[in-house]
Structure 1
Amino acid sequence: MLLLTSAFYTMDIVADIQDLYKDNKWREIVARYHDHPERNKVLWVYPSEGNFSFVENCLAELGCDRIVSIGCGSGLLEWMITQATGVPVSGIEVDGAWWSCKYAPPNFIPLHITPTEMDKETISIVQRNKNAALLFCYFNNRKAFDDYLKYYDGNVLIIIGPHEKAVHTDPKPFDDVTDIWTLYKFQEIRNSGDFIVVYKKQNV
């Protein structure tokens, strides 16, 4: 058993996840890697099927038919959300040179690359998606977060991140948004100390 465990943990997690992705085996990805010691090479959080159902139900209740994910990284989480829920998810990232170089993680969805300061095209994407929820997962740029909310005309905000863990994010998932947003529902990701927190705009 020790030998098997050791072999498992020395596998190339990135290559294995790519293979599972090609076969549309999102369930195997979240089951196999949610507590893997090298999981952060690809993704910070690996929601359970129940967590994906929670997101799907919240979106249905709040009238959202898609998600725009800001700072989506490789897009693995976003791809799994779509596979699990049927909800389309688009992703926005910065630093196109990094995401197209050979050292970067693979991309699991097409990325819209934006400059650090949002350009007109990025602002247009955020503004025209009024029926989309805006997603920030393990985000760590408060100024950019505030800028996106300034242009976002929709009514649903999802923040995924750590709560009472020794990991810094900005914004934090709880109590770290302006007072025009009301906490709607939240759910812990497995027993990880990470939470999916859904906010809705007041008076909606």
Structure 2
Amino acid sequence: MLLLTSEFSAMDIVADIQDLYKDNKWREIVARYHDHPERNKVLWVYPSEENFIFVKDCLAELLCDRIVSIGCGSGLLEWMITEATGVPVSGIEVDGAWWSCKYAPPNFIPLHITPTDIDKETISIIQRNKNAALLFCYFNNRKAFEDYLKYYNGNVLIIIGPHEKGVHTDPKPFNDVTDTWTIYKYQEIRNSGDFIVVYKKQNV
């Protein structure tokens, strides 16, 4: 079976990113692929070094020492955050059959697999450390988002997603959470129309 040029391109991206990952070259990944036409095959956003510093500084200011990423996909973004900032990031995903099959993207961090309905072990992970920020990047499941917030005991929420660029996410990065949360700081990812928005729980 012949592969189309675009399929070859996507395969090349995955292989190249895997090689750079093995050599801990996160800077080269974001520099090479942030504006590549096939970038979404692997990751929706490719933050700059300035963006990673922004995340690190916000976490330090808000006394967070780790991140739990919900719907982390392959974990590439989460791995790059750890490499760039030194902040440990753990990832939670659903559909273990997909993430362990040969057609799935490679995993860049260990994944905790949860059922669609959050189980006790997953609840324990997000409640274990109040100093952990909860991260949602290009998330698109309002019910699951609200369920995780219901169990989350921490005070810092990070939403990464598009703003006024014709791509749907749920929640959206700006002003799409309950009044319990207020925007602390935000920064655009390069000039992509994607934003990192850090929320702080009110009255904390």
Scaled to the shorter chain, the TM-score interval is over 0.9
Where 1:10 maps in the other structure, the secondary structure is helix
CA contact 1:159–1:173 (8 Å) conserved in 2: yes
Q: State the 1:9 CA deviation.
A: 5.8
Q: State the 1:7 CA deviation.
A: 13
Aligned CA-pair RMSD: 3.5
CA distance in 2, matches of 1:96, 1:4: 29
Q: State the 1:190 CA deviation.
A: 0.2
Distance 1:10 1:145, change over 3 A: closer
Q: State the 1:193 CA deviation.
A: 0.1
Q: State the 1:79 CA deviation.
A: 0.1
Distance 1:178 1:20, change over 3 A: same
CA distance in 2, matches of 1:156, 1:46: 22
Q: State the 1:3 CA deviation.
A: 20
Distance 1:120 1:191, change over 3 A: same
CA distance in 2, matches of 1:58, 1:156: 10
Q: Which residue of 1 aligns with 2:149?
A: 149
Q: State the 1:128 CA deviation.
A: 1.2
CA distance in 2, matches of 1:193, 1:150: 29
CA contact 2:10–2:38 (8 Å) conserved in 1: no
Counting matched residue pairs gives: 204
Distance 1:118 1:2, change over 3 A: closer
Q: State the 1:129 CA deviation.
A: 2.1
**CA offsets per residue over residues 89-148 of structure 1, 9 Å max, x none?**
000000000000000000000000000000000011111121000000000000000000
CA distance in 2, matches of 1:18, 1:97: 21
Distance 1:123 1:191, change over 3 A: same
Q: Is 1:8 equivalent to 2:21 in the alignment? A: no
In the superposition, the TM-score normalised over structure 2's length comes to 0.95
CA distance in 1, matches of 2:83, 2:97: 28
Percent of aligned positions that are identical: 91
Distance 1:154 1:6, change over 3 A: closer
Distance 1:35 1:178, change over 3 A: same
Q: Which residue of 2 aligns with 1:111?
A: 111
**CA offsets per residue over residues 45-94 of structure 1, 9 Å max, x none?**
00000000000000000000000000000000000000000000000000
Where 2:182 maps in the other structure, the secondary structure is strand
CA contact 1:9–1:37 (8 Å) conserved in 2: no
Distance 1:153 1:13, change over 3 A: same
CA contact 2:183–2:200 (8 Å) conserved in 1: yes
Distance 1:6 1:176, change over 3 A: closer
* Structure 2: segments with no counterpart, 5+ residues: none
* Structure 1: segments with no counterpart, 5+ residues: none
Where 2:175 maps in the other structure, the secondary structure is coil
Distance 1:8 1:112, change over 3 A: closer
Q: State the 1:203 CA deviation.
A: 1.0
CA contact 2:10–2:41 (8 Å) conserved in 1: no
Where 1:200 maps in the other structure, the secondary structure is strand
